[in-house]
Structure formats: C-alpha cells, structure tokens
Amino acid sequence: MSLDNKEKRESRDIESSRFREEIHSVPVRAGKRTYFFDVKATRKDELYLTITESKKRFDRDGNSYFEKHKIFLYKEDFEKFSDGLRDVLSFIDDNQPLVAEMDEMYEPEAVTAEYSNVDFDDLAR
C-alpha cells in the first residue's frame, strides 16, 4: 500500500470517528437513572441529538453493568418532538394530584386502641 493511500485511509478513519464524536454532552442524574443528552454530528456536519437512559443493574453473580436505551433525534424532528413532550408534560401537570393532596388521600385514619390488662398466667389456662 502506498503512503498516499495509507494517508487517505487514515483521514477517512478520522472523519468516520468524527461521525460518532460528542460535540456537547449534558448528563442528568435522576434517582437510579442517568440521562445523557449528547449532541453529535453526521458526516455532513449536521447536528443531531442522542438521548440515552442508563441504569445500573446487577447480574446473578452480583456483577454490575449498565443497561442503556438510546433515542436518536434529528433536526427535522426537533419541533414535533418538543411539541409532543410539552403536550404530555402539560397533561401530567394538569392531571397529577399535588403531593400534599396525595398525602391527604392516603393518610391512615387515627386508630384508637383500647387495652385491657392481660395476665399472662391467664393465657396458660
């Protein structure tokens, strides 16, 4: 292989790795999950978003691993995606009872207990 061809291949490999390179990343830790919002570029330098949900899991031997789910979101879908997300978040805000309301709904009723004197010797009879 000539040096010129080798240089071209290396250049192509570098360009190919740029396709997968993260340009900007924002991790969001939320309880047992972490969400990653990563901006990447296509080979044509068009930016897109990957959203990754990562959860730590354990196998039967107790070894940990991360289970990941990804969504790829391209520019032509940004507006529809954000409209849909806004709609469902608004629906949840409008229809989810407030935490204080939920606490009242599930608050146990006060129980008054009447105790009598029990002699343990009476139980043996």
29-74 tens-digit pLDDT: 999 999 999 999 998 889 999 999 999 999 999 999 999 999 999 9
Tell me whether strands 47-58 and 64-74 are parallel, antiparallel or unpaired: antiparallel
Number of domains the chain contains: 1
Judge whether 19 lies within some domain.
yes
Judge whether 82 lies within some domain.
no
Judge whether 103 lies within some domain.
no
Structural domain span for residue 14: 3-75
Q: How would you classify residue 44: left for phi > 0, otherwise alpha for psi between -120 and 50, otherwise beta?
A: alpha
Judge whether 100 lies within some domain.
no
Judge whether 69 lies within some domain.
yes
Q: Residue 86: pLDDT above 50?
A: yes
Cβ(38)–Cβ(48) under 8 Å? no
Residue 65 sits in a domain whose CATH number is 3.10.450.700
SS3 85: helix
